[in-house]
Amino acid sequence: MKKKILGFAATLLLTVGLAACGNGGSSSDSSNASDDTTLKIGASPTPHAEILEHVKPILKDEGIDLEIVKFDDYVLPNQALSEGDIDANYFQHIPYLNKEIEEKGYDFVNAGAVHIEPMGLYSQKIKDISELEDGATIITSNSESDWGRIITILKDAGLVTVKDGVDLETATFDDIDDNPKNLKFNHTIDPALLASTYQNDEGDLVAINANFAYGAGLNPLEDAVLLEKDNSPYVNIIATRKGDEDSDKIKKLIEVLHQEDVRQWIEEQWEGSVKSVDADAK
């Protein structure tokens, strides 16, 4: 497991380096979106791109050449999809996709759910949530679509309550009603930097998306002080431009990702911390 996690970290560092040079994908990804036999898809390095690499030979046998473009942030994959540089992307959960569509007017659709990764809160200072002191600082991402997710974890742990009538999926920190430990919230950090924030021992708890946690050598099931429950609605999906979800190559990709042997491989590869879901999961 340790070698695998270190590999994730190396992949993440390589991708960050590429992005820093002004290229959000690999050096061979300069062409626009693909023809009928090539499927060009943008993905986070882990676990998304690794899952796609696993199914690449299966799709090859089906007559589809899968071209994977790695992105290390949550902005460029949707921009690339909108501009036609890729055919689909695989990095975001449903609430994030919905918010991007609402705010930026993207004509995107959810072509199919694939997996769920548990959001975790990590700490260099405490090992158990009972050790959390009054006035502790919780650092989260600046991605508003994750705020309700984090608030739900805190609510489930008995640390906060929310105002009556608030939809937890869209809740913000202003919707917190009771905060008996007087927790402070810093929600200004880019999601890709949260793992570094944790490694630098900033704050008392740091909420890190699982793909970035893997890249930092963290296993959500083993290392998180708090972990979201299995009934989370934050399912990671394949997103396409509206109308492309009915293309043969997208349908074949969704079908292959849900083959039983692929689902079992995902569960085993990440020791249960990445969970396959049905394609129509909401």
Count the residues in the chain.
282
- The predicted model gives 243-272 an average pLDDT of 96
Is the pLDDT at 110 greater than 60? The verdict is yes
pLDDT classification of 32: cutoffs 50, 70, 90: low
Examine the pLDDT at 30 and tell me if it is beyond 50: no
Structure-model confidence comparison of residues 36 and 103, the more confident one: 103
The rounded distance, in Å, linking the Cα atoms of 192 and 194 is: 6
Confidence category of residue 121, pLDDT binned at 50, 70, 90: very high
Assess contact for 173 and 147: CB atoms under 8 A.
yes
Q: Among residues of the chain, what percentage have pLDDT more than 90?
A: 75
Task: Give the confidence band of 215 by pLDDT, cuts at 50, 70, 90.
Answer: confident
Separation between Cα atoms, residue 145 and residue 162, nearest integer Å: 17
Residue spans of alpha helices (H) in 49-146: 50-61, 76-82, 94-104
Number of neighbouring beta carbons within 10 Å of residue 200: 11
Tally of CB atoms within 10 A around 222: 11
219 vs 126 pLDDT, higher one: 126
- Residue 120's alpha-carbon distances to 123, 151, 208, 225, 257, in angstroms, are 10, 12, 6, 7, 25
Q: Where are the beta strands (DSSP E) in 169-252?
A: 176-178, 184-189, 205-208, 226-227, 235-241
Please report which confidence band the pLDDT of residue 33 belongs to, taking 50, 70 and 90 as the band edges. Answer: low
Is the backbone of residue 203 left (phi > 0), alpha (psi -120 to 50) or beta? left
Tokens of 177: 């009603």
Residue 235 dihedral angles phi and psi, to the nearest 5°: -85, 135
Nearest to 205, CA basis, from 281, 261, 137:
137
Residue 280 has pLDDT above 70, yes or no: yes
In this prediction, residue 31 carries a pLDDT of: 45
Over the stretch 138-179, which tens digit does the pLDDT of each residue have?
Answer: 999 999 989 999 999 999 999 999 999 999 989 999 999 999
Q: What is the pLDDT, as a whole number, of residue 11? A: 42
pLDDT confidence band for 27 (50 / 70 / 90): very low
Overall pTM surpassing 0.85 (yes/no): no
| pLDDT bracket for residue 273 (50, 70, 90) | confident
Cα–Cα distance, 114 to 54 (Å, whole number)? 14
Question: In this predicted structure, what is the pLDDT of residue 1?
Answer: 45
* Whole-number Å distance between alpha carbons of 119 and 149: 8
